[in-house]
Amino acid sequence: MFLEGLDELDQKIVKLLIKNARISYSQIGQEIGISRVAVKARIQSLEQRGIIEEYTTIINPQKISGAVSCYFEIEFQPDTFHQGTNLLEQNENITQIYRVTGSHRLHVHAVTPSNEEMEKLICQVIDRLPGVLHCNCNVILSRMKDVKGLRL
């Protein structure tokens, strides 16, 4: 459904890359019936057009001893929303920031190496954000489902 704007070969390439981003051009070519060179050209085109944004390694912080993962729901006064967002973007412990429905609200995810570091983040960064009307913090205890990127 999301790939309707791509031709049939590009759709097949994207589906294979979603399953395994490390698959070789040769393997893709064998599976869809085109040459390795044609696969490479199509993938480069998908990258240049911004359809494929990146290839990455995803680390599960809960598998690292002591790592703490939290998400925050933060509501700002309208005139401080962008300033608060900019401050959050600069912090290395903040991994995701989403603007969500509701006036001037953010969903913010953070990962720290320990409870002490999470408390430091809350006290020194979150609590000091300008114009916060409401902030709710939830510690993530376990991951039940976590879909990365577009899954088809």
* 66 and 34 in a common domain: no
**Chain centroid offset of residue 34 CA:** 32
What pTM value is reported for the model? 0.68
40: its two tokens = 């490479």
Give the domain extent around 112: 61-139
* 69 and 123 in a common domain: yes
User: For residue 66, what pLDDT is reported?
Assistant: 80
User: For residue 149, what pLDDT is reported?
Assistant: 62
pLDDT one-digit tens code per residue, 36-88: 999 999 999 999 999 998 888 777 777 777 889 999 999 999 999 999 999 99
Q: How many domains does the chain divide into?
A: 2
Contact 137, 72 (CB under 8 A): yes
Residue 78's identity, in one-letter code, is P
User: For residue 57, what pLDDT is reported?
Assistant: 78
Share of the chain above pLDDT 90, in %: 71
